[in-house]
Chain A
Amino acid sequence: MSIELKNVTKKFGEVTAVNDVSFSVNEGELMALLGPSGGGKTTVLRMIAGLEMPTTGDVFIRGQRVNDLSVQERNIGFVFQNYALFKNMNAFKNIAFGLKIKKWKRPDVEARVMELLKLFDLQGLEKRYPHQLSGGQRQRVAIARALAPKPGVLLLDEPFGAVDAKIRQELREWLVTLHHELNVTTIFVTHDQEEAMEVSNRTVIFSRGNLEQIGTPREVYEQPANEFVARFIGVMNVLELHVRKGVARLNELEFPAHGLPDGERLRIGFRPYSVQISSDVKAYRYRAILRHTYFLGVMLRVELELPSGLLIRARMTKEEYAFQGLADGKDVSFQIRQYRVLAREGEKLAPEVAVTHDVPLTLGEGI
C-alpha cells in the first residue's frame, strides 16, 4: 500500500474542509480525487503532499506515518494547477532544481534532465523561459520537474484545468500512457467526472468535505453509493414518490413499495439508458410524447413528456432511433427497466444496499 489516510479531518477556522476521510491508494495506482469545487479534494491532495497539516487523523506514505514529516522530507512530486514554474529560470533549470537540492553530481543532473526532456518531447526548448513556452509545454516541464528527483508519489492538482479544451482529451490519453511507462503511484484532482472516469484506475468522490464513494469507474457508475454520486457521475432521472397501499406513485408512474406505510416518501432514480422506448403506443405500459432529440454522437438523448407534464430523459443508439422510426413530436410508449431506491438527502448509503432492482414484469408490462 502506497498511501493511506486514516480518519483525516481538516478545519480552516470554523470551516470543515475535509471531514473524517479514510482511504488508501495502492502502489502504482492512478487515482482520481473527484468532486465539485469546494468538495475538499485539493485539500486532501495538499495534506498528502504536506502542504497542509491534518487537524486530526493520520497520513501514511509506504507504511510510514508522515504527519510530522515536512514537505521536503516526503519525497513527493507535486504539479500545481497553474504549474508554478520558476519564471526566472529556463526549462532546464526548472527541471534540474530538485536534483540540485538533492546534491546530485553535475553530469548526473545533466543526464537526468536530458532524459526527461527527451521523454517529454521538450528537446531544444531547455533554454526557453516559462513565458516563452506554450501551455502544453509548460505542463510537460512542470511534470518533468516533479518527476526529476524520482519521487515515490506523483500528485497533480487539476492537471488539465489550464489547458485548451481541444487538446485536453489527447493529454488525458498521454497521461495514461505516461503512467503506464513510469508506473509511479499517481493521484490527480479533477472536477470533471468524465476525466476521472477515463483516466483513473479508481476514483474517490468527495462532496462538501465528505468521502462519498471510492471505486473503479465502473463501480461508481453502476453502483453509486448514494444520490450525490449517482447524480454527479453521469445523468440520472430522479423522482420523488408518495407511498399509498404498497405502491409508490408520482403522477402516472408507479413503483412497488411493499411494506412501506402510507404517506411515506420514496426517492428513486434511473439512468436514461434504462428507459426503453417503442413507437408502438401499446408496446409498453406508459405513454408519452417525444419532445426533443439531442444528438450526442453515436448515442442520442431524447426527452419524453408524459401526459401529466412530467419530463423524463432517455438514451438510445442512433440505429434504434431510426429502426423505431422515432421523431420529435411522436407518440410513444415506454417502460423503465431498472431503477434504484435512493437514500434521503445527506444520508449515507452503504454500497451493498443500493442494488439495482429489476422492475417486476407485472408492473413493467402488465395492466
Chain B
Amino acid sequence: MAGAPSTDTAIIRRRVSRSQSQRGTEEPPLIKWTLIVIALAFSLVFLLLPLVNVFAQAFAKGWQAYWNSLTEPDSWAAIRLTLIVAAIAVPLNVLFGVAAAWAIAKFEFRWKSLLTTLIDLPFSVSPVVAGLMFVLMFGLQGYFGKWLEAHEIKIIFAVPGIVLATVFVTFPFVARELIPVMQAAGSEQEQAALTLGASGWRTFWHVTLPSVKWGLIYGIILCNARAMGEFGAVSVVSGHIIRQTETMPLRVQALYEGGSAVSGAAAFAVASLLALLALITLAIKTFLEWKQARDYARAQQLAMPTPESDSDTAFLARQNLR
C-alpha cells in the first residue's frame, strides 16, 4: 500500500509531539484517562443503553406488531393530537419569541429586565405546578370556571387546555435562542436598510430574519421537541380521555400501566417515536450549532479591521494609472 509509510510516520510524529507538548498545566495521563473512562461509562449506562432498549423493546415482536401498535385507533389518536398541539403551540411561540427577542435586543425600556426574567419563568416552574395554575384559572372551581361553563367553553380536560399548558411550558425556547443572536447582530444592518429606503417590514423579512435564521430554527426545533414530549403540565390539564385528550407521552404511560405484554410492547412502540424525535432534534441541533459558530466567526471577522489584501493594492495601483 502506497499510503502506509506516510501514515506510519504521521503516527510517529504525533507520538513525539504529544510527549513533547505535555505542559506543566496538564494532568498526568492516569487522571486524564480515568476521567474519560468514567464519563464514557456513565453516558453508556445511563443514556445510550436506555435509548437502545427503547428501540429493542419496541421491535421485540417484529415490524408488523410495531406497526399495528402505532396504527391502533387509540394510539393513532394520541399521535394526531400531539401533532395538532405542536402545530398550534410552536407557531404561537415563534411569533411571541421573535417579538420578545426583538424588543429586548433592539430597544431600551424600563421593564426590560423584568421581561427577560418573565421569559425564563416556565423553566423554573415545575410543569405540574404550571398545569395546576391553569386548572385553578379555567377549571370548574377556578376564577373563570363559572363564566366558561355558562358559555359552554371547555378548556380544562379538553384540547384548549393542553395547548395552553404546552404554550406555557415551551414559552422560553425561541426567545432565549434569539436574544443573544439578535444582540450580537446589532442594528447597523437594519439601519443600512432604512437609509436605502426599505420599510420596517421589508427590513425585517430581508435583513433581520435572514441574519438570525439559524438561531430561529434552533429555537423552533427545541420548542417542538418539548411541545411533543411534555408530560407533567399536560397530564394535569388533560383528564386522560382516550382518543380525545391523550397525547403521546400520556399514551405511553397509559399503555405501560396496562400491564399486559402486548400493551407493554405498544408503550415502547409509541415511546420509540418520541425517542426518534429526540434523536432527529439532536442531529439538527448539532448541525445548527456548527452553522451558528461559523456565522459568528464570520461576523467577528467582519467587525475587525482587515489587513490590506493584494486586490486592494492592485485596485489602488489601477486608480493611479487612470
Query: Bound pair: A and B?
Result: yes
Which residue of A is nearest B305, CB measured? Answer: A162
Q: Which residues of B contact A130 (CB under 8 A)?
A: 302
Decide: A71 and B298 in contact? CB cutoff 8 A. no
In the complex, A136 Cα to B213 Cα: how many Å? 28
Q: Which residues of B contact A51 (CB under 8 A)?
A: 191, 194-195
In the complex, A87 Cα to B312 Cα: how many Å? 20
Interface string of B178-202 (1 = CB under 8 A from A): 0000000000110111111111001
Contact partner of A164 (CB less than 8 A), chosen from B193, B197, B308, B319, is: B308
Contact partner of B316 (CB less than 8 A), chosen from A82, A101, A145, A174, is: A174
Interface of B is mostly: helix
Interface string of A4-40 (1 = CB under 8 A from B): 0000000000000000000000000000000000000
Decide: A167 and B193 in contact? CB cutoff 8 A. no
Contact partner of A87 (CB less than 8 A), chosen from B189, B307, B316, is: B189
A17 → chain B closest CB, angstroms:
16
Decide: B188 and A80 in contact? CB cutoff 8 A. yes
Interface residues of A in 122-180 (CB under 8 A from B): 130-131, 134-138, 140, 145-146, 149, 161-164, 166-167, 170-171, 174, 177
Contact partner of B302 (CB less than 8 A), chosen from A76, A102, A131, A171, is: A131
Task: Determine if A224 is an interface residue (Cβ-Cβ < 8 Å).
Answer: no
Contact partner of A170 (CB less than 8 A), chosen from B192, B206, B316, is: B316
- Interface size bracket, B side: 35 or more
Q: Which residues of A contact B316 (CB under 8 A)?
A: 167, 170-171, 174
Task: Determine if B23 is an interface residue (Cβ-Cβ < 8 Å).
Answer: no
A200 → chain B closest CB, angstroms:
20
In the complex, A102 Cα to B197 Cα: how many Å? 7
Decide: A101 and B319 in contact? CB cutoff 8 A. no
Task: Determine if B313 is an interface residue (Cβ-Cβ < 8 Å).
Answer: yes
In the complex, A88 Cα to B295 Cα: how many Å? 10
B319 → chain A closest CB, angstroms:
6
A339 → chain B closest CB, angstroms:
40
Decide: B191 and A136 in contact? CB cutoff 8 A. no
Decide: A78 and B188 in contact? CB cutoff 8 A. no
Which residue of A is nearest B306, CB measured? Answer: A135
Q: Which residues of A contact B315 (CB under 8 A)?
A: 121, 136-137, 140
Interface string of B107-150 (1 = CB under 8 A from A): 00000000000000000000000000000000000000000000
Decide: A136 and B194 in contact? CB cutoff 8 A. no
Task: Determine if B210 is an interface residue (Cβ-Cβ < 8 Å).
Answer: yes
Interface residues of B in 297-311 (CB under 8 A from A): 298-299, 301-309, 311
Given contacts A76-B195, A101-B198, whether A136 and B309 have CB atoms under 8 Å apart is yes
Q: Which residues of B contact A161 (CB under 8 A)?
A: 305
In the complex, A97 Cα to B304 Cα: how many Å? 24
Contact partner of A135 (CB less than 8 A), chosen from B207, B213, B309, is: B309
Q: Which residues of A contact B206 (CB under 8 A)?
A: 86, 97
Q: Which residues of A contact B193 (CB under 8 A)?
A: 86, 97
A262 → chain B closest CB, angstroms:
55
- Interface size bracket, A side: 35 or more
Q: Which residues of B contact A135 (CB under 8 A)?
A: 305-309, 312
Which residue of B is nearest A148, CB measured? Answer: B196
Decide: B191 and A137 in contact? CB cutoff 8 A. no
Contact partner of B308 (CB less than 8 A), chosen from A167, A174, A177, is: A167
Interface string of A56-76 (1 = CB under 8 A from B): 000000000000001110001
A360 → chain B closest CB, angstroms:
50
A167 → chain B closest CB, angstroms:
5
In the complex, A85 Cα to B211 Cα: how many Å? 11
Q: Which residues of A contact B188 (CB under 8 A)?
A: 80, 82, 84
Task: Determine if A225 is an interface residue (Cβ-Cβ < 8 Å).
Answer: no
A102 → chain B closest CB, angstroms:
6
Task: Determine if A49 is an interface residue (Cβ-Cβ < 8 Å).
Answer: yes
Contact partner of B197 (CB less than 8 A), chosen from A88, A101, A131, A163, is: A101
A196 → chain B closest CB, angstroms:
20
Which residue of A is nearest B188, CB measured? Answer: A84
The 10 closest A-B pairs by CB, nearest first: A135-B306, A136-B312, A134-B309, A98-B196, A84-B188, A88-B210, A78-B195, A131-B298, A84-B192, A101-B197
Q: A51-B194, A136-B312, A137-B312 are in contact. List 4 more A-B contacts (CB 8 A).
A: A80-B192, A136-B308, A137-B311, A171-B316
